[in-house]
Structure 1
Amino acid sequence: MFRAVLATLLVAVISPAEAPVQEAAATAKAGTLTDLTSNFEKVVDRTAKLSDAERVQAFHAAFDPIVPGYFDGKGARQPGFDAMILWHLKEWPGKRDKITATAAAFGAAFARGQDHFRAAFPDYALTVPVYLVHSMSQQDGGTRTIGGRTILFFGADVIAAIHDDTTIGPFLDHELFHVYHEQYFRGCMELWCSLWREGLATYAAARLNPGADDRALLLTQPQPIRPKVEPRLAEAMCGLRAKFNSVQRDDYGPLFLLGRSSGPFPSRYGYFLGYLLAGKLAATTPLQALAKLPPEKVKPLLEAAIDSYGPCPPPARATP
């Protein structure tokens, strides 16, 4: 009986007559920008009188068919993520104006961003579909795989929270560089591969935006990275060298994820290290050429660049 009643409520919440169904990301046309932020607002308004559990289920019913795996399929983390969904549904009234304004301005900003990026990389083409969503605090931007396809997502909620007119340009250059770079640098899963992807994208954003400071390059998220790392740069590079070929998430997390560092360096400090290393290699190789290097050519160059920061101490021997 409960399921039947809930099903009726969900049909009313996302009735196709009132909320046209968006094309699923798995079949969306490359180069298109789809704005799903108004869909979120409709779900908020139409579930206001439902229970907490029903609101979350209505959210999934509205979005999971369009972007499967983006809000669901998180395994053991799903209950916690569903709590985040509920929080955003309830917090929407206080955030509506700023996120709605961000979404309204995004299309024009994205068009300008593509023109700016293409001026530096004339062979750039947007080869993936793009979705603007209320990301539930997941990201300001980045690619995900949906139905076997690469999709570029932008989170209007996070953009509204951390970006402004001084940062949106470098941010878009960073994300567009990832799309461009993926054509030439793929099939690489070790930690050093992420170091190169993120470091080169950060360096590209800096080169394409002369005068961009660390804030514009997102090197102050969640706290300023440079002041914590520069005084101990050789130590940081040696730690990186020791994990260079790792495929373990525990090694990846402190370098590239928010809130995952418990050591002497702030979270996401891998972006800064990668940025420095990319800059070192760019001293002798143009950025456009670096972007087209395959993994097998990047790896020895990156190893040599890390080693140039000084000899690392040998690994400590285990005590018998």
Structure 2
Amino acid sequence: MVQGMVQPKMAIVERLSKQIGKDLPRYESRFRQTFPDLNYTGRIYFMYSLGGFDGATRSVQGQEALLFGLDMMAYVYGNDADPEPFFDHELFHIYHSQFLEDGSNIVGYLWREGLATYVAHALNPKAAGVALFGLPRNTPERTQADLPRYARELHAVLTSESKDDYTRYFMGGYDEKAATPARSGYYIGYLVAEKLAKRHLLQELAHAKLSQLQPEIELALTELEAPAASK
């Protein structure tokens, strides 16, 4: 089954492998210029994941490792596959974990994923669409179409630790009739981070504790709930 999924995308897998082999040192150097206090000495693997993941962290020989599945990157993103913003998003998660306390509620996920998405865009201004937000491709458009309602509904469950709420906002899905666009939490979180970035440097946002930022996050959501936010 995995072979059947990926075989049509093998040209993209090969293209990604060559691109990454050439450009990875530049990706990491540029990231460290923006975030010089990155404390990561683990390995970075770009590999064939057998359909397991596009990006993940795993323990390899007792050390945290950052893994990228070229097969799933090709399958999910197709010809739009761009490893640079994807690399920045995943490496930022590792960097952010140096400072952010573990939060298993919705506001924690919203901030982690929203800021990582915003950082990926800040470091790659030309990146857009699926390269930033993943699948489904129409999540930004569907969310923007009724943004005040989606922001209000997410705001109401910020403290929730429910698996159902997490799935509703952060898991992929392809049901066009779903009440909430799949992975809309990524897009709304990005808009929240964009607002906070107007008042803070990226390094300040990365270093801040969630408890310090939550009032500003809630204010940003309140602003997104205004009818004019969707226009």
Is the 8 Å Cα contact of residues 110 and 172 (structure 1) preserved in structure 2? no
Q: Which residues in structure 2 correspond to 1:88-127 (within 5 Å)?
A: 88=2, 98-127=12-41
C-alpha distance in 2 between matches for 1:206 and 1:118:
16
Is residue 130 from structure 1 mapped to residue 44 from structure 2 by the alignment?
A: yes
Q: Which amino acid aligns with 2:27?
A: G
Find the aligned partners of 2:10 and 2:207 in 1 and give their Cα distance. 41
Q: Deviations over 1:235-254 (max 9, x none)?
A: 00111012211112211112
Could you say which residue in structure 2 is the equivalent of 1:213? 128
Q: Partners of 1:91 and 1:229 in 2: how far apart?
A: 28
Q: Does 1:232 align with 2:184?
A: no
TM-score, scaled relative to structure 1:
0.62
Does residue 285 (structure 1) correspond to residue 200 (structure 2)? The answer is: yes
SS of residue matched to 2:46: strand
State the partner residue of 1:153: 67
Offset of residue 102 of structure 1: 3.2
Mark the CA change 1:138 to 1:254 in structure 2 (over 3 Å): closer, same or farther.
farther
Native 8 Å contact 2:6 2:74 kept in 1 = no
Match of 2:229 in 1: none
Residue aligning to 1:204: 119
- Whether the 8 Å contact between 1:142 and 1:153 is mirrored in structure 2 is yes
Question: Counterparts of 1:27-66 in structure 2 under 5 Å?
Answer: none
Could you give the per-residue CA deviations for residues 275-304 of structure 1, whole angstroms, max 9, x where no partner exists? 000011111111111011112212222122
Q: Give the C-alpha shift of residue 88 in structure 1.
A: 2.3
- 2:184 matches 1:273: no
Q: Does 1:249 align with 2:155?
A: no
The two structures have a TM-score, normalised by structure 2, of: 0.83
Show CA shifts across 1:156-196 (max 9, x none): 10222326587222111111111111101132111111110
Residues 231/92 of structure 1: CA separation in 2 closer, same or farther (3 Å cut): closer
Contact 1:223 1:266 (8 Å CA) reproduced: no
Please identify which structure carries the higher helix content.
2
Offset at residue 144 of structure 1 (A):
4.1
Which moved further from structure 2: 186-195 or 141-150? 141-150
Count of equivalent residues: 225
| Contact 2:85/2:123 (<8 A) preserved | yes
SS at match of 1:217: helix
Verify the 8 A CA contact 1:167 1:217 in the aligned structure 2: no
Distance (whole Å) between structure 2 residues aligned to residue 101 and residue 207 of structure 1: 24
Cα distance in 2 for residues equivalent to 1:247 and 1:146: 29
Q: 1:179 aligns with which of 85, 94, 111?
A: 94
Distance 1:243 1:283 in 2: 25
Amino acid at match of 1:211: K
What CA distance in whole angstroms lies between the structure 1 residues aligned with 2:14 and 2:186?
30
More relative contact order, 1 or 2 (CA 8 Å, 6+ apart): 2
Q: Say whether residues 1:223 and 2:142 are aligned partners.
A: no
* Aligned amino acid, residue 194 of structure 2: G
Partner AA of 1:218 in structure 2? F
CA contact (8 A) 1:137 1:158 kept: yes
Classify 1:268/1:123 alpha carbon distance in 2 versus 1 (closer, same or farther; 3 Å): same
Q: How far is 1:96 from its partner?
A: 5.2
Distance 1:264 1:102, change over 3 A: same
Partner of 1:301: 216
Q: Name the larger-Rg structure.
A: 1
RMSD of the alignment, in Å? 2.8
Give yes or no for contact 1:140–1:154 (8 Å, CA) kept in 2: yes
Shift of 1:108: 3.0
Q: Structure 1 residues 159-168 or 227-236, which shifts more? A: 159-168
Aligned-partner Cα distance in 1 for 2:3–2:125: 39
Q: CA deviation at 1:94?
A: 5.8
Q: Residue 142 of structure 1 corresponds to which residue in structure 2?
A: 56
CA distance in 2, matches of 1:249, 1:144: 22
